[in-house]
């Protein structure tokens, strides 16, 4: 132990040769051209030696709650559970609000209200953080806000033209664009198993929507264009968020606050210029409790869900986040049939089985070594052991 009256940090690379002992292997290792930080705590304590600039693992927090006490798998499961719960509620409320007669043309106004709530929530959450510094440049936020507006605004507007399950299914097709974006934007490389998993999940959900179109066609070309543009923006934003948040070590709160507050300005200006702001305000004034009440519930569930999604993106990557949200969409469709009566066909079943195959492949790809070990231990080893015993019995006879 070392006693010292002051805390100091010494850079070994800048120390002169006279301060080190040439024959001391400890000093030789410390001063071999690498920057080393030595922290001497005040009082009887210890010396902490580590290479300068070595990053410690980022603490995972969701809405100020730390998940560091959980193992890595536990943190992932908590994030997945949060995404499922809050976004399932989000989907239910969204479909419910568009069931109000006459509300379908006002998807952009609903998005404006959501962005206003998100901005307020983000500003409130930021007050509880010690570090309120904005880390990401405002120029970057202008781009992120544009993608966020395109994703949510176009998606909400599409609900006014398409059947809700059809809209959800279209958005599930972003798995492939996300992988392409990962290669183009971040230089990632995905294996054949990941590609096959994405194809299975995507085509399974596409066939799911074809069944929906067959039993209750509510197709509109305008809605298809809107949801297709939202799909492209949604595919790009995951990779851009991951790259930006990791590059600047930005918190979820900061990204949500600035992305949605800038996006709010974009939508407000757009509605003012197009002259489409007053009509939805008059309409909602007729049903204030229903429209703004559901909009508030939509915003709360969406805000908490966004924080879980951003945590997944930042801590586990864009592809796992998209895989989780895609599976959540499948459950959303099932619940949509339960709570909002719709026709049923067996094509839904085999389409869901194809999606399940994609989920299994994706899970195997991310845990290949562990799953191979489990298969070897609990499947192959007992199988070959039984075969060996059967051969011995046959030879004996």
- pLDDT tens string, the chain, 397 residues long: the values are 444 444 444 444 444 444 444 444 443 344 444 444 333 333 333 333 334 444 445 677 777 778 888 888 888 899 999 999 999 999 999 989 988 989 989 999 999 999 999 999 989 988 887 778 888 889 999 999 999 999 999 999 988 887 787 787 777 666 667 677 677 777 778 888 888 888 887 788 778 777 767 776 656 678 778 988 888 888 778 668 777 877 887 777 888 899 999 999 999 999 999 999 999 999 999 999 999 999 999 999 988 987 888 788 778 876 677 678 777 877 887 888 888 877 778 887 788 788 778 877 876 776 677 667 767 777 777 776 766 655 555 554 5
The pLDDT of residue 319: 65
As a whole number of angstroms, the distance between CA 102 and CA 107 comes to 11
Bridge partners, 51 (sequence order): 36
65: alpha, beta or left? (left if phi > 0; alpha if psi -120 to 50): beta
CA count, 13 A, side-chain hemisphere, 98: 27
Q: Is residue 46 part of a domain?
A: no
Q: Is residue 277 part of a domain?
A: yes
Q: How many residues does this entry show for the chain?
A: 397
Q: Is residue 27 part of a domain?
A: no
Q: Is residue 35 part of a domain?
A: no
DSSP 249: T
The candidate with the shortest Cα–Cα distance to 52, out of 38, 66, 42, 67, is: 38
Q: Is residue 89 part of a domain?
A: yes
- How far apart, in Å, are the Cα atoms of 217 and each of 99, 165, 284, 343? 17, 12, 29, 11
The pLDDT of residue 261: 95
Instruction: Quote the number of domains for the chain.
Output: 1
The model's pTM: 0.68
Structural domain range at position 275: 61-368
Residue 20, classified by CB atoms within 10 Å of its CB into exposed (0-12), middle (13-18) or buried (19+), is middle
The pLDDT of residue 218: 58
Q: Is residue 37 part of a domain?
A: no
Name every residue whose Cβ is closer than 8 Å to that of residue 111 and which is 6 or more positions away in sequence. Answer: 149, 152, 153, 156, 157, 267
As a whole number of angstroms, the distance between CA 266 and CA 143 comes to 11
């Amino acid at each position: 132990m070392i006693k010292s009256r002051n805390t100091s940090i010494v850079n070994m690379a800048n120390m002169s040769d006279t301060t080190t002992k040439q024959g001391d292997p400890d000093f030789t290792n410390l001063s071999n051209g690498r920057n080393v930080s030595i922290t001497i705590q005040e009082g009887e304590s210890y010396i902490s030696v580590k290479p300068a600039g070595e990053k410690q693992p980022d603490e995972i927090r969701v809405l100020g709650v730390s998940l560091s006490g959980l193992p890595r798998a536990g943190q992932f499961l908590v994030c997945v559970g949060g995404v499922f719960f809050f976004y399932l509620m989000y989907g239910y409320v969204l479909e419910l609000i568009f069931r109000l007669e006459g509300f379908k043309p006002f998807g952009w106004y609903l998005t404006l209200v959501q962005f206003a709530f998100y901005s307020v929530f983000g500003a409130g959450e930021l007050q509880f953080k010690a570090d309120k510094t904005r880390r990401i440049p405002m120029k970057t936020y202008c781009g992120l806000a544009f993608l966020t507006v395109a994703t949510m605004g176009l998606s909400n507007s599409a609900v006014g033209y398409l059947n809700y399950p059809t809209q959800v299914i279209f958005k599930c097709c972003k798995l492939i664009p996300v992988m392409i974006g990962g290669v183009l934007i971040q230089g990632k490389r995905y294996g054949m198993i990941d590609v096959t998993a994405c194809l299975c999940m995507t085509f399974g959900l596409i066939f799911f929507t074809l069944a929906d179109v067959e039993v209750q066609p509510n197709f509109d070309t305008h809605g298809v264009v809107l949801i297709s543009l939202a799909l492209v923006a949604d595919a790009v934003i995951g990779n851009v968020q991951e790259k930006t948040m990791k590059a600047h070590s930005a918190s979820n709160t900061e990204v949500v606050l600035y992305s949605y507050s800038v996006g709010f300005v974009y939508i407000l200006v757009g509605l003012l210029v197009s002259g489409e702001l007053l009509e939805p305000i008059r309409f909602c004034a007729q049903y204030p409790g229903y429209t703004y009440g559901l909009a508030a519930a939509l915003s709360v569930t969406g805000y908490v869900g966004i924080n879980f999604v951003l945590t997944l993106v930042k801590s586990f990557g864009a592809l796992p986040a998209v895989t989780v949200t895609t599976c959540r969409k499948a459950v959303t469709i099932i619940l949509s049939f339960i709570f909002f009566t719709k026709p049923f066909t067996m094509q839904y079943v085999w389409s869901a089985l194809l999606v399940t195959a994609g989920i299994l492949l994706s899970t195997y790809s991310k845990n290949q070594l562990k799953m191979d070990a489990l298969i070897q231990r609990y499947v192959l080893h007992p199988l070959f052991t039984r075969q060996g015993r059967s051969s011995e019995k046959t030879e004996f006879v």
